[in-house]
Structure 1
Amino acid sequence: MSTRHGAKTRRRVAAVLVAAVLPFSLTACGSGDDGSDKKGADTATTSSRSSEKPDESGDGGTMVPDSSKTLATVNGSNGVQIVINSAARDSGGFLTLSGVVKNTSGNRFVPPVQWNGEESAVKRTGRSFAGVTLVDKAGKKRYYVLRDTDGFPLTTTGLSAIEAGQAVDFFAQFPSPPEETKEVDVQIPLMPTVTIAIS
């Protein structure tokens, strides 16, 4: 009897311990979540949405460029100046071009439709930099702005008019040329071609 009674007591104690420890384990598993993972997911979603639904203010999907360097300055005939600050590779096999579009004229500037590119899929994003291309002369290849799964370009979209004296940041993401390619030509429709170094 005492042996059976002892076994029952041990089972009861074990059940009580499990009941007490289980909520603690579940809390411990969740206690490390300070919202950083969720925040990261939200950030990724916001980034994706920014390219899908351009901001009509003219800076939708914009990445702030590192203005500490200037790789090239492209001057248009209408007083528009494009400053390219960075052409950086990343580990995912992409190359991101970033910089600033400045309106140095005394008039309001509306980005030309030629900057959008010719594809019908990119027309719904409004004015953008989807028509910009990179040319690797050594490798004899041309690179186009990447598109997401919905066909939206991975570039600044929703560009509206730029007032006189104002500037707008821009970025455009491309497949990365091979590591041995150290420089590429940047071709922006209606603007002179410039050669830049890849950082």
Structure 2
Amino acid sequence: MTVKGDKGLDMIIHGAKRDSGGFLTVTGEFKNSASSRVTTPLEWSGNEEAVAGTGPSLAGMTLVDSRDKKRYYVLRDTDNRPLTTTSYDSGIDAGKSLSFFAQFPAPAQGTSEVDLQFPGFTTATIEIS
């Protein structure tokens, strides 16, 4: 699934996979379809003070389970670092991509799709495998 974003960036979602440990991992890539380098927005990292010190991340990504009316945030490790792609370059050159992953708590077993929300992109409904 491809979601068009601001400034010529496309978010290509490869999948959302539930694992036996109770986690859900979303994978994909951001592709720059513009004719020049695009600077990644600061909003991608989220606005939490705890993750601000970790550098660029995708901690601003959330999942919404409309069925159970729950929002899920990117998980953190024991040092409060987000379990997502981090420390990437602040821009993506024309025609290039940035692969990503983001790990969340898994929604209830009966939930088969969630809405992915990320700054600069429209909401995307994705299926859980």
CA contact (8 A) 1:89 1:95 kept: yes
CA contact (8 A) 1:104 1:165 kept: yes
Higher relative contact order (CA closer than 8 Å, sequence separation 6+): 2
Question: 1:109 corresponds to which residue?
Answer: 38
Question: 1:197 corresponds to which residue?
Answer: 127
1:151-199 residue CA offsets vs partner (Å, 9 max, x unmatched) = 1000000121111110111000000001100000000012100101101
Alpha-carbon separation, structure 2, partners of 1:98 and 1:77? 20
**Structure 1 stretches of 5 or more lacking a match?**
1-71
Alignment of 1:18-167 (within 5 A): 72-160=1-89, 161-167=91-97
**Structure number having the greater strand percentage:** 2
1:88-147 residue CA offsets vs partner (Å, 9 max, x unmatched) = 000110000000110010111121011111111111221111000000000000000000
**Structure number having the greater helix percentage:** 1
| Over 4 Å off, 4+ runs | none
CA shift, 1:77, in A, is 2.9
Counterpart pick for 1:182 among 78, 101, 112: 112
Question: 2:99 corresponds to which residue?
Answer: 169
RMSD of aligned C-alpha atoms? 0.8
Range moving further from structure 2, 137-146 or 107-116: 107-116
TM-score normalised by structure 2 residue count: 0.96
**Structure 2 stretches of 5 or more lacking a match?**
none
TM-score normalised by structure 1 residue count: 0.63
Alpha-carbon separation, structure 2, partners of 1:122 and 1:168? 20
**What is the total number of aligned residue pairs between the two structures?**
128
Alpha-carbon separation, structure 2, partners of 1:190 and 1:99? 16
